[in-house]
Structure formats: C-alpha cells, structure tokens
Amino acid sequence: MKNQQLSLDLIEAQYNFKNSKNNKNSKSLLIIIGGIELTKKSNAIKKLSELMDPRYLKIKADLPNKIKSNSLIWSPYINDIPKRGEIVTFYGNWYTDLLASTLYENTKKSDYYFKEHLEKINIFENYLKNNNIDIVKVWFDLPWSSIKIRVSDLNLNRAIQRVPNHSWDNFPIEKWKTKDLYNKINFYRKQFTDDWYIIDSQNKKERNLAFANIVLSHLKNTAPPKNASLDYQPAALSPLLTQISKGDIERVQYKKMIKILEHKVAEALRFSSKNVVFAFEGMDAAGKGSSIKRLIKYLYPYEYSIHSISAPENFEKLRPYLWRFWNKHTGNGEINIFDRTWYGRVLVERIECLITEAEWQTAYEEINHYEKQLTETNTIVLKFWLAISKDEQLIRFEKRQKTPQKHFKITDDDWRNRDKWDAYLQAASDMFKYTNTEHAPWHIISNDNKLAARIEILQTILKSLQTEIVCK
C-alpha cells in the first residue's frame, strides 16, 4: 500500500512537472548517480522507473569516458541535458569520468588535477542551476563490512560491467577483496559529495524508498532559482565605436595582400595543433559574411564549420541559453566559425527586452567562464567586433537593396535596428568592459573601408596564431 501511494504521488508530480514546461520559471530535473560498486544502484533506478511513468523518465547510462585535454569534461553529455519539464538520469556522468580518469588510468593523476576538474564541474553546474535545471546528486554507499560480505560469493567478472577498458585493466579483481580501492574511492568522493544525498544501500527496500522520495521532493519543489546579478555600471562609449577610421587602400595593393594573407591563414589553421573558435559580431552590414569568406578562401569545406546564429528555435529555448553553442564543440583540432554568437544574450536580447536585467547582467560572467574553459581545452578564441559608422551602414543598406545578388540580405529588422543604434553602442561598450579578458580578448575592427577591414582581420588572426604558422 505504501508503494502504491508513493507511485501515485510520483506520477502526479511527474505529470505536473512535464506539463509546466511552457510556464515562466519552469524547470528540468537532472539526476546524477554515483556510488560504490555492489550497491546495486541500477536496481534503485529500475524501481524508480517502475513507480513512475517510464515514458517520461529518461535514463542515460554510459561507460566512463576518458577526460581529454581538448574537450570539455561534460561534452559527452551535452545533447542529453534535460529541457524544461523533462527528467533525465545520468547513470554515468562527469563525476564517474573524473573518478575513473583519476584512479584507473596508466598515468597517475595529481590531487591538483582532480580539484581543478572539480572546480570546472562546479562552475558548469552552477550555470545549469541558474538556468532552471534542478540537479539532484545521489551517492549510493555501503560500509566496508557489507562490501566484504557481497564480494565473498560474487563473480566480479560479471558484476562489474560498467567499467572502462582503459581504466580497469590495470586493477586486478583482487583489489575489490581488499580495502585499498574502497578507501581510494571514498577519499576522492568525499571531496565533492557535500551537496549530495548519501543513501545507505545495505537494505534494498530502504534504499529504493529513500531514492524515490528524494526525486519526489524535487519534483514538488517549484521554487525558482535565485539568480545573482552583476554589480552593473554602464561603460563609457568605446571611441573605437564612434571614431571610425576612413583608412583607404588601393585595390591593386589589396588584391596582392589579401591573397597572401588568405594563403597564410589557411596554412596556419590547417597545421595548428589547437582548436580555433572565431566569433564575429558587429553592426548589420559591417562585413562579417565577407570577412568569413576571406578567412576560409583556401580551406577545404571539411576543415571548418560555419554556424550562422539567429534567434533560438523553440526547442532551444527550453534549455540553458549556452546549450546551443556547447553542442557545436567536439575538439580534435576543429575550426568553428560563428557568424553572430552567444553575445546575442547581452546585445539583441538585452536591447529588445527579451530577457530580464538580471539575466543579461549575469550572462557576462557566464560567458567569461564558458570562454575560459574553452581556452583551457586547447582552444584559441578569437573575437571580432566589426564597427562602421551609421552613415556607412546606410550606404551599404541602399546598395544591397539595388543589387540583385544582395537584396535578400536586407530585412525590415535591419532598418528597425538602425533606430536603436545608440542602444547597441552602449551594449557593445558594456560587453567590451565585462568580457574583454586575457584569455579571450576582443579585437575591434573600426573601419568604414571594407577592404582595409578584411586585411586587418586576417593580420590579427595570423598574429594570434603566429607561434604555429608554418611557412612554405
């Protein structure tokens, strides 16, 4: 009878949670599973699925992944981050990856390595929490006395299935028959489980009941997250946005220089050992598209990816704002080019009042963390703001309207945005103030001459990659 009532409560809470996805401040629920082997965590998850409607309880079960220096520790899980109204369980997650990589790989990892990755996880999880994802972290525990009993008559070759070849080959099964491995796991897990639920798994019924009640309590908790806002002070307008160069260059000289630079940029990128992210922002008609064309001139299409960013789709709005950018990074020496970027959060979304002041003010720090962690995973982040004068923009708009191959580029929104020119100048200046960092500085290309601007962009790219340029 007790289970029947619990099941009714869970299903009712589950459907209320699911149906709230379009409400303001609706949440998603991410359940992180960890624990000592032999606690039968999977049985607790199975029981929860039986008590709930399993169609709306997603279980992601993965072998531990190797932590790679060129990708974010949570990259393997990005596509499964729950959207609003969704419940997802990660049985195998960034914590199991960290434990496996620390304990079982051939190369011994330092305590600093472990703590460094914990800090990155903490920053990432705080971002999720601030963006309406409720994270429930559950550690299934057993005392050593119970482990010894369970090990004594167990075929460990069959029991320990969810372990990576890269990790466990060097740990003989006998390790589970002594307290050595148990102690090491507990030593590391105690460094991150202060905010976890710890479930004693000696009694399976009590274990299952405790787990189900934890999930139920979070499904019923509808309190919105408390977003910390920035102590925002508007920046002085950047002179690079108001004092635009009219620098000229002869077309003959331009053609000669641009070809040389295009070849050098392609060569530098092709043989770079790093991932490279290009972020292009700027006023409408400032030349982002034509600059990207010169950037990729001598690269093959399979060597890069171009992401033209517009307003988020409905399914993207149900996830944290940065989600649609996270899933475009895979590592492995990739080149990602963004025509408009995550900075839309503090530009158009701010100016059009699509989000609250707290949201766009908080976004500066969130973006800084995002870019810093990219640079810590063997990635160069090159950010360009293309600045032109308002008069020059008008000239380019009118030319686009008269040119058959370009008239599609001009829209009603482009004309409407001109009325908010001053607001964009202020938003851009604030953006430079709060997100111009040592690891990802802004490069402001301030020139009404599009030819000179393209030369400056390619020269800046080469300078940033100069230590890896291979000249032929």
Q: Which residue has the higher pLDDT, 266 or 159?
A: 266
Q: Give 321's pLDDT tier (boundaries 50, 70, 90).
A: very high
SS3 category, 134: strand
Query: Which among 308, 282, 283, 271 is positioned nearest to 293, based on CA atoms?
Result: 308
Query: Which among 326, 325, 343 is positioned nearest to 384, based on CA atoms?
Result: 343
Q: What is the pLDDT of residues 366-403, one digit of tens each?
A: 999 999 999 999 999 999 999 999 999 999 999 998 88
Question: What is the full DSSP assignment across 63-89?
Answer: PPPPP-TTS-TTGGGGGGSPPTT-EEE
Q: Please report the pLDDT score of residue 176 as a whole number.
A: 66
Q: What is the pLDDT of residues 288-311, one digit of tens each?
A: 999 999 999 999 999 999 999 999
Asked if residue 153 has pLDDT above 70, the reply is: no
Single-letter amino acid, residue 37: E
Q: Which residue has the higher pLDDT, 170 or 193?
A: 193
Determine how many CB atoms are found less than 10 A away from the CB of residue 307.
16
Q: Which residue has the higher pLDDT, 73 or 467?
A: 73
- Across the chain, mean pLDDT equals 90
Kindly report the pTM of this predicted structure.
Answer: 0.90
Determine how many CB atoms are found less than 10 A away from the CB of residue 111.
11
Query: Which among 352, 344, 332, 276 is positioned nearest to 308, based on CA atoms?
Result: 344
Q: What is the pLDDT of residues 164-173, one digit of tens each?
A: 444 434 444 5
Q: Residue with structure tokens 């279980």?
A: 59
Tokens of 229: 């806002």
Q: Please report the pLDDT score of residue 24 as a whole number.
A: 84
Q: Please report the pLDDT score of residue 163 as a whole number.
A: 47
Q: What is the pLDDT of residues 243-272, one digit of tens each?
A: 999 988 999 999 999 999 999 999 999 998
Asked if residue 8 has pLDDT above 90, the reply is: yes
Q: Which residue has the higher pLDDT, 25 or 18?
A: 18
> How many Cα atoms sit within 13 Å of 340 on the Cβ side?
16
| Alpha helices (H) along 139-244 | 144-152, 156-159, 165-168, 180-189, 204-220, 239-242
Q: Please report the pLDDT score of residue 231 as a whole number.
A: 85
Using a pLDDT cut of 70, give the percent of the chain over it: 91
Question: What is the full DSSP assignment across 177-197?
Answer: GSSHHHHHHHHHHTTT-TTSE
Mean pLDDT, range 337-341, rounded to an integer: 98
Q: What is the pLDDT of residues 206-222, one digit of tens each?
A: 999 999 999 999 999 97
Asked if residue 158 has pLDDT above 80, the reply is: no
Q: Please report the pLDDT score of residue 223 as a whole number.
A: 78
Q: Give 160's pLDDT tier (boundaries 50, 70, 90).
A: low
Running DSSP on this structure, what letter comes out for residue 110?
Answer: P
Q: Please report the pLDDT score of residue 175 as a whole number.
A: 67
Q: What pairing do the DSSP bridges indicate for beta strands 305-308 and 335-339?
A: parallel
Residues 6+ apart with CB under 8 A from 253: none
Query: Which among 309, 329, 270, 246 is positioned nearest to 76, based on CA atoms?
Result: 329
Mean pLDDT, range 131-137, rounded to an integer: 96
